[in-house]
């Protein structure tokens, strides 16, 4: 097994799907390789959470308030 370089579906950046991650995926029984880089995966997760909390405050959401 060796590291794979995958192009992120969302941002188009290349990211490395490391051997360790491949083993993790195999262990979990995931058949598909990741299609998004870790950043986009995190962003999607965060967006989902923020959507629940900020449905009525979109202006705050888009004002650059991205404290992690």
**Site of interaction with Zn ion (CB under 5 A):** 8, 10-11, 37, 40
Q: Which is nearer to Zn ion, 12 or 29 (CB)?
A: 12
Q: Which is nearer to Zn ion, 11 or 19 (CB)?
A: 11
Q: Which is nearer to Zn ion, 41 or 61 (CB)?
A: 41
In the bound complex, what is the minimum distance in angstroms from residue 6's beta carbon to Zn ion?
Answer: 10
| Backbone phi and psi for residue 21, each to the nearest 5 degrees, phi listed first | -70, -40
Q: Is 14 exposed, middle or buried (0-12, 13-18, 19+ CB in 10 A)?
A: exposed
Residue in 24, 25, 8 with CA at minimum distance from that of residue 16: 8
In the bound complex, what is the minimum distance in angstroms from residue 42's beta carbon to Zn ion?
Answer: 10
């Amino acid at each position: 097994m060796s590291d794979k370089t995958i192009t992120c579906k969302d941002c188009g950046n290349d990211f490395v799907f490391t051997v360790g991650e491949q083993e993790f995926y195999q262990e979990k029984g995931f058949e598909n390789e990741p299609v998004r880089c870790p950043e986009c995966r995190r962003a999607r997760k965060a967006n989902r959470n923020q959507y629940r909390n900020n449905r009525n405050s979109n202006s705050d959401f888009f004002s650059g308030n991205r404290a992690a």
